[in-house]
């Protein structure tokens, strides 16, 4: 005997708010006087510092999409984790919430193992403000010796626009710089009202005529993917395919992988890594 089942109705913002509200525990004294579980609308509205009328409208699907600020307050009021916060933004605004750059980004051991598992592909982890916070051995040999740099010197944009030897090592510097600025513009927008991103853009506009020129063009790139050439002493030009991948477990961080294109490029990377390992061994003696 077959049974007919109705298709599941898509979850709305109002339904999500009602469901989350019902899951929260009121104070013990209030719970003892109630027949239904969860918080009342008035309690959530007070927690979120919004009017009861406005919150009621949200649960009823009225009043239009709430602002980022209201959604952030609701996320705290409803005690949402990062996944719940993102889901609420998707329901309310059909987009994820603004990413929040972290001043002290944490790279997990698992993520570091991912980096280290790419022996001849330079790979780094960057923040929304383009600070490098993790790397593998190939990156140290090909891109930069990050451990010897001050934290402020590990910023990709500062290196690209402020260090002449970095520019000299990029035969296609103009193309690379244009692409980087266009990608950073998108990252800055994803970060929302981010003082760090705004300060970095202002700093580079003041210190670099090239950055100022490219920033004024207002170009945007949402996907950082392509091919670049790097000149290194002893091996000449290395061609690398690069790809930036978001790290879902750490919002605001992205993994950048540079893959050698030809066997000769792989050999050049291996040679640079061998030379660096040899130098370090001599320094330890």
Domain segments of the chain as ranges: 13-93, 109-284
If you compute the radius of gyration of the chain from its CA atoms, what whole number of angstroms results?
Answer: 25
pLDDT at residue number 30: 53
pLDDT confidence of residue 5: 54
Helix residue ranges per DSSP H, 173-262: 173-190, 195-207, 209-216
pLDDT above 90 for 142: yes
Query: In terms of Cα–Cα distance, which of 57, 29, 52, 54 is closest to 41?
Result: 52
The span from the CA of 242 to the CA of 226, in Å, is: 5
DSSP state of 146: G
Q: In whole angstroms, what is the distance from residue 285 CA to residue 283 CA?
A: 6
What integer pLDDT is reported at residue 75 of this predicted model?
Answer: 93
Give pLDDT, residue 152.
87
- Residues 273, 135 contacting (CB under 8 angstroms): no
Q: Which CATH superfamily is domain 13-93 in?
A: lambda repressor-like DNA-binding domains (1.10.260.40)
- Rounded Cα gap, residues 265 and 86, in angstroms: 41
Please provide the average confidence, as pLDDT, over all residues in the chain: 88
Q: What pLDDT, on a 0 to 100 scale, did the predictor assign at position 164? A: 94
Burial class (CB in 10 A: 0-12, 13-18, 19+), 165: exposed
Q: What is the pLDDT of residue 81?
A: 86
Rounded mean pLDDT, 229-248: 93
Q: Is the pLDDT of residue 47 over 90?
A: yes
Reported CATH class of domain 109-284? alpha beta
Closest CA to 239 of 172, 163, 154, 155: 172
Residue 155 has pLDDT above 90, yes or no: yes
Euclidean distance between CA atoms 78 and 45, whole angstroms: 10
Mean pLDDT of 33-51: 86
pLDDT of 1 higher than 50: no
Percent of the chain exceeding pLDDT 70 equals 89
Least confident of 32-41, 81-90, 122-131: 32-41
Question: For residue 112, is pLDDT > 70?
Answer: yes
Least confident of 35-44, 112-121, 233-242: 35-44
pLDDT at 284 over 90: no
């Amino acid at each position: 005997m077959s049974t007919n089942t109705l298709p599941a109705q898509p979850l709305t913002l109002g339904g999500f708010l009602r469901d989350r509200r019902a899951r929260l525990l009121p104070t013990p004294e209030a719970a003892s006087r109630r027949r239904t579980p969860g918080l009342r609308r008035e309690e959530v509205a007070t927690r979120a510092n919004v009017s009861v009328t406005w919150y009621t409208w949200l649960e009823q699907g009225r009043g239009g999409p709430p602002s980022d600020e209201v959604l952030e307050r609701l996320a705290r009021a409803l005690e949402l984790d990062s996944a719940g916060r993102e889901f609420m933004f998707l329901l309310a605004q059909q987009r994820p919430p603004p990413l929040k750059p972290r001043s002290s980004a944490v790279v997990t051991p698992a993520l570091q193992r991912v980096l280290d598992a790419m022996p001849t592909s330079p790979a780094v982890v960057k923040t929304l403000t383009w600070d490098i916070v993790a790397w593998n051995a190939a990156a140290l040999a090909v891109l930069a010796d990050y451990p010897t740099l001050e934290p402020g010197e590990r910023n990709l944009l500062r290196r690209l626009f402020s260090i002449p030897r970095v520019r000299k090592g990029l035969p296609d510097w103009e193309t690379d710089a244009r692409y980087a600025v266009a990608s950073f513009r998108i990252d800055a927008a994803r970060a929302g009202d981010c003082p760090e991103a705004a300060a970095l853009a202002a700093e580079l506009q003041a210190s670099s005529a090239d950055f100022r020129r490219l920033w004024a063009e207002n170009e945007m790139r949402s996907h950082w993917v392509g091919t670049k050439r790097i000149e290194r002493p002893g091996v000449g030009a290395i061609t690398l395919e690069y790809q930036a991948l978001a790290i879902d477990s750490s919002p605001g961080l992205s993994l950048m992988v540079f893959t050698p294109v030809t066997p000769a490029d792989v050999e050049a990377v291996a040679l640079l890594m061998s030379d660096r390992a040899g130098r370090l061994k001599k320094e330890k003696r």
